[in-house]
Amino acid sequence: MLSLLQEQRRIQGILASMVDAVLVVDTHARISLANKAAENLFLVREGALEGKRLDEIDGDQEVSGMICHVLTTGKEVFTETTINPSTQIFRVHVVPIKDPDGMVEAAVAVFHDVTDARNFDQMRSGFVANVSHELRTPLTSIKGFVETLLDGAMENSDTCRRFLSIIETETERLTRLIDDLLSLSSLESNDRNIHLKPVCLARSMRSIMNIMGPQISDKHLHVEFIYPQSIPRILADEDLLGQVLINLLDNAIKYTPVEGKIFIRCRQRDSRLIIYFTDTGLGIPRDSIPRVFERFYRVDKARSRNQGGTGLGLAIVKHIVESHGGEVFVDSEVGKGSTFGASFLSV
């Protein structure tokens, strides 16, 4: 048999180890027991809660109201709320403790932090709203042109051809959007196995420059690739690395006016190899810089959309680079140009 003292010590040990804040409140609305997490939540020093009246610690009185309700009705309650001064969201559960005759002796309130879960819910619904909007835009345009064609525009073969080619472009955008979303989701859910092997960054970069050759010459851009003679190989998944390089070069091309310059440089720093893309393009306003790696973020939505952009390119780049243990960074000045960089572990 445990003595009363042993039992108390055991309860205190359990309460102290709990992540959730716990308050026990007597029928006079005084706190008779509080754990460490509760002291942290109400920002008070050790032992300062016991003996206090509830209304002394609870600024907006929401929780004290709930606890008093439980003390008078004997029925448990749940709610979700923020506790001043913390900005976290708590799920609060208050239960009555009754004596053998069923009279309420005290109430126990448990505060469970659900901030992360709620933030995640918010992020997810924001993401769904973004995706729906991005899908709706090309679909609205396709629907409009199809209707106009059916209304008679089909009779004129020039108009018909022009409208069909717009429909084709919009369909391509939809396909690209869905491909990008799938690739981001498979990267995030880790079901895309990353096949790391030593890769020559210079070789990958040269082959991407070949692929982008037509876009480069269409805009009469000067693209230069500068790298040291002996360059260590990096540990990477070749396909994913290709996606990083193509997205960064594609942006440099897209956001640099005709006859501009793009310099691609490789540098070794300690155990890392860093690749920089510097362009003489539009640049990015200071307050947009921290946001460019967010999904769907575009400095100029109309311009990016005109160029067929989905706003997912840099989100994909960041994800891939970080899943390789590297980092992405950007530096930019409006009117002068931008430098985007990505680091990789060298072998």
Ligand X SMILES: Nc1ncnc2c1ncn2[C@@H]1O[C@H](COP(=O)(O)OP(=O)(O)OP(=O)(O)O)[C@@H](O)[C@H]1O
Binding interface with ligand X (CB under 6 A) = 180, 247, 251-252, 255, 279, 281-282, 284, 292, 297-300, 304, 309-315, 338
292: partner contacted, choices Mg ion, ligand X, none (Cβ within 5-8 A by kind): ligand X
Q: Which is nearer to ligand X, 90 or 293 (CB)?
A: 293
d(CA 235, CA 344): 7
Q: Which is nearer to Mg ion, 170 or 250 (CB)?
A: 250
Q: Which is nearer to ligand X, 58 or 180 (CB)?
A: 180
252: partner contacted, choices Mg ion, ligand X, none (Cβ within 5-8 A by kind): ligand X
* Sequence-distant (≥ 6) Cβ neighbours of residue 31 within 8 angstroms: 23, 24, 25, 49, 50, 51, 52, 53, 54, 57
Q: Are 110 and 93 in contact (CB under 8 A)?
A: yes
The nearest distance, CB 242 to ligand X, in angstroms, is 15
284: partner contacted, choices Mg ion, ligand X, none (Cβ within 5-8 A by kind): ligand X
The nearest distance, CB 293 to Mg ion, in angstroms, is 11
Q: CA of 91: how far to CAs of 17, 72, 185, in Å?
A: 19, 21, 30
Structure tokens at 202: 């210079």
Q: Does 256 bind Mg ion (CB under 5 A)?
A: no
106: partner contacted, choices Mg ion, ligand X, none (Cβ within 5-8 A by kind): none
Q: Are 226 and 185 in contact (CB under 8 A)?
A: no
266: partner contacted, choices ligand X, Mg ion, none (Cβ within 5-8 A by kind): none
The nearest distance, CB 294 to ligand X, in angstroms, is 8
Q: Which is nearer to ligand X, 310 or 343 (CB)?
A: 310
Q: Are 44 and 20 in contact (CB under 8 A)?
A: no
Q: Which is nearer to Mg ion, 35 or 251 (CB)?
A: 251
Cα separation of the two ends of the chain: 63
Structure tokens at 35: 């754990």
Q: Which is nearer to Mg ion, 113 or 250 (CB)?
A: 250
Q: Which is nearer to Mg ion, 33 or 317 (CB)?
A: 317
290 upstream amide cis, omega within 30 of 0: no
In the shown chain, the binding pattern of residues 269 to 308 toward Mg ion, with x for contact by CB under 5 A and - for none, equals: ----------------------------------------
The nearest distance, CB 214 to ligand X, in angstroms, is 17
280: partner contacted, choices ligand X, Mg ion, none (Cβ within 5-8 A by kind): none
Structure tokens at 145: 């042109």
Tell me how far the alpha carbon of residue 31 is from its chain's centroid: 40
Dihedral of CA 221/227/233/234: which sign? negative
Q: Which is nearer to Mg ion, 57 or 253 (CB)?
A: 253
- Residue (of 182, 174, 188, 218) closest to 310 by Cα position: 174
d(CA 187, CA 199): 20
The phi-psi region of residue 307 (left if phi > 0; otherwise alpha if psi is between -120 and 50; otherwise beta) is: alpha
* β-bridge mates for residue 113, sequence order: 90
Structure tokens at 278: 């510097």
The nearest distance, CB 241 to Mg ion, in angstroms, is 16
d(CA 183, CA 247): 13
Q: Name which of residues 305 to 324 contact Mg ion (CB under 5 A).
A: 313
The nearest distance, CB 312 to Mg ion, in angstroms, is 8
The nearest distance, CB 332 to ligand X, in angstroms, is 6
Q: Using the rule CB under 5 A, which residue among 251, 256, 280, 338 binds Mg ion?
A: 251
The nearest distance, CB 91 to Mg ion, in angstroms, is 40
- Footprint of Mg ion on this chain (CB under 5 A)? 251, 313
